[in-house]
Amino acid sequence: MTQASDTQAPSDGGTAAPVAPAGEFPALADGYRRELTAHCYRMTGSIHDAEDLVQETYLRAWRSYDGFEGRSSVRTWLYRIATNVCLTALEGKDRRPLPTGLGAPASEPGDALASSTEISWLEPAPDPMVAGEASDPASIVGQRESIRLAFVAALQHLPARQRAVLILRDVLRWKASEVATAMDTTEAAVNSALQRAHAQLSKADLSQDTLDTTLDADKQAMLDRYVKAFWDKDIAAIVGMLTADAVWEMPPFTGWYSGPEAIGKLIDTQCPGGVNDMPMVATTANGQPAFGLYMRQPDGTFAPFHLQVLTLRGTKVEHVAAFFDVDLFARFGLPASLPADHLAR
């Protein structure tokens, strides 16, 4: 089959419609851009790559639209093309890890920080680019769970074709026969790849069902205290909001830190900011609470320092990924700087 083939029935429950003229292709296809971006992000771990691959998907689809016979939905057809575009792009490329995925033991907070620009790190994704807008609450929850940072990080441990099979089967709920057609393979090969992918994810003790996605009033109050604790550089307060097995990692630095005491010492001794030096501005990433942390400058203003993406367990912080890529601030719609009279909110 070709990447533009539409020989299968729609996997999204839709009814195949008569094929519209080629001039109507943009109107038919543009509504799927966000979910296709999420799909390519799950596959690649990079929001930059995902945007490029979605553009390539639409270009290929537009070029081959005259051959689309309407035997599947446009959505299903676009997902097939996007999956194959991703698989081609991933050939010969290393997976995108977080520091915990490098295989090294936890670091000591007193050790010198080492960074690597040679590693293509996993990137966070702004919610407006990847979070779905389904009307069904259950669908919204499912879509958000499938872009959670921990889940995307776990996917990166899988070979690309296993990753594609797991996403198509478990996230998009395609039938094995549909996946086999889309990936030009057999149902037996699909089922085998899915079994191996599940075994790999089970080692990480992670599935979509284990992710805590709710944000109630108690958790929001804790997040407010978390922001204040950084503004005050109150190490005891920060430590008190971490779970006993909390993890802190901060690409492109290769080390990672385990446990409240180690994390507290890291912030106390390695973070250059002092009291009233580190305001935070709230955002969301991967369906999770996130904050742009700013650092006071000699002139009193505040400049971007890192973007924190938090994973919560109950009313405590289980995991912090602090991304030291200040270019992320613009991508997340965060201010390029804060004035000297900015007050923590």
According to the model, what pLDDT value does residue 211 have? 57
Average pLDDT of the segment spanning 119-127? 97
According to the model, what pLDDT value does residue 26 have? 77
Distance CA 66, CA 330 (A): 39
Contact indicator for 121, 252 with CB cutoff of 8 Å: yes
301 lies in a domain? yes
268 lies in a domain? yes
According to the model, what pLDDT value does residue 202 have? 85
Distance CA 262, CA 106 (A): 10
Q: State the total domains in the chain.
A: 1
Per the structure, the complete domain to which residue 301 belongs is given by 217-331
Which residues face 312 on adjacent strands?
A: 317
**pLDDT range class, residue 137, cuts 50, 70, 90:** very low
- pLDDT (tens digit per residue) in 219-230: 999 999 999 999
Query: End-to-end CA distance of the chain, in Å?
Result: 56
318 lies in a domain? yes
Distance CA 342, CA 302 (A): 8
How many angstroms separate the Cα of 128 from the Cα of each of 55, 245, 285? 17, 31, 9
Q: Which of 204, 219, 241, 228 is nearest to 319 (CA)?
A: 241
According to the model, what pLDDT value does residue 70 have? 65
Return the beta strands (E) in 210-255 as ranges: 242-249
How many angstroms separate the Cα of 243 from the Cα of each of 107, 189, 256? 18, 41, 16
Average pLDDT of the segment spanning 147-163? 95
**pLDDT range class, residue 301, cuts 50, 70, 90:** very high
How many angstroms separate the Cα of 212 from the Cα of each of 52, 146, 198? 30, 12, 20
Average pLDDT of the segment spanning 268-277? 96
- pLDDT (tens digit per residue) in 34-71: 999 999 999 999 999 999 999 999 999 988 887 776 66
CA 90 to chain centre: 17
Q: Which phi and psi (to 5°) does residue 306 adopt?
A: -160, 165
| Residue 18 buriedness (CB in 10 A; 0-12 / 13-18 / 19+) | exposed
Q: Does residue 138 have a pLDDT over 70?
A: no
157 lies in a domain? no
Average pLDDT of the segment spanning 197-203? 89
According to the model, what pLDDT value does residue 7 have? 35
* Relative orientation angle of helices 47-64 and 33-44, to the nearest 10 degrees: 130
CATH of the domain at 256: 3.10.450.50
Q: Does residue 172 have a pLDDT over 50?
A: yes
Sheet holding 316-323, edge to edge: 256-258, 242-249, 316-323, 302-313, 288-296, 280-285
Cis peptide bond N-terminal to 252, omega within 30: yes
- Per-residue burial over 186-216, b = 16 or more CB atoms within 10 Å of its CB, e = otherwise: eeeebeebbeebeebbeeeebebeebeeeee
Least confident of 63-67, 206-210, 248-252, 314-318: 206-210
24 lies in a domain? no
Between 62 and 133, name the one with better pLDDT. 62
**In the chain, % of residues over pLDDT 70:** 86
Tell me the whole-structure pTM to 2 decimals: 0.89
Average pLDDT of the segment spanning 11-40? 72
234 lies in a domain? yes
Q: Does residue 6 have a pLDDT over 90?
A: no
Contact indicator for 235, 79 with CB cutoff of 8 Å: no
Mean pLDDT score of the chain, rounded to an integer?
A: 88
Average pLDDT of the segment spanning 125-148? 72
According to the model, what pLDDT value does residue 14 have? 44
Contact indicator for 235, 267 with CB cutoff of 8 Å: yes
274 lies in a domain? yes
Q: Which of 81, 219, 211 is nearest to 152 (CA)?
A: 211
Place of tokens 């690649």: 44
Distance CA 249, CA 323 (A): 8
98 lies in a domain? no
Q: Does residue 8 have a pLDDT over 50?
A: no
